[in-house]
Amino acid sequence: MQKLMINGQEHDLDVADDMPLLWVLRDVMGLTGTKYGCGIAQCGVCTVHLDGQAVRSCVLPVSAVAGRKVTTIEAVGEQAVGQAVQKAWLDHEVVQCGYCQSGQIMSAVALLQEHPKANDEQIVNAMSGNLCRCATYTRIRAAIKSVSQA
């Protein structure tokens, strides 16, 4: 039995210790906003926040998050920075296919929470773990900068 704090709610779930958080979110809880892309922390589409830090949920055993705060794309808009980033994503028409954008947004929000005035270098460092096969990087940069320079 795992005691999890997800998006502000406590859950007791009967899942194996080594099951990655990603599959607990998607297949056990039905929170499908967090995506699967590689399973080896190479693409970033599974990014969630663990105590406010961006982490790749595809390689994070669920036992490692017990008692810690997990935030997913479904709830990130409840935070001011999350809301600002989602709005910037729409204002800058970042999205193409959209499959990676949950992860991109989670990485961007974590960056801006830590560095509200993030500069170019910090943006590149924080975002280069997130692949986008549609290659929307031009607009991701612009959207983040619009928040960090606001």
Q: Which is nearer to another protein, 5 or 129 (CB)?
A: 129
Nearer to another protein by Cβ, of 64 and 74: the residue is 74
Piece of 49-57, 63-71, 86-94, 111-119 that binds another protein (CB under 8 A): 86-94
Q: CA 39, 43, 47, 52 torsion: positive or negative?
A: positive
Residue 105 lies near another protein (rule: CB under 8 A): yes
Q: Does 56 bind another protein (CB under 8 A)?
A: no
Site size for another protein, by CB under 8 A? 57
Residues near 22 by Cβ (< 8 Å), separated by ≥ 6? 34, 36, 46, 57, 58, 60
**Which pair of structure tokens corresponds to residue 57?**
């949920």
**What percent of the residues of the chain are helix, what percent strand, and what percent coil, each to the nearest 5?**
45, 15, 40
Tokens of 91: 């204002």
Q: Would you tell me which residues interact with another protein (CB under 8 A)? A: 16, 19-20, 23, 26-28, 30-40, 42-43, 45, 72-74, 77, 86, 89-90, 93, 95-102, 105, 123-125, 127-142
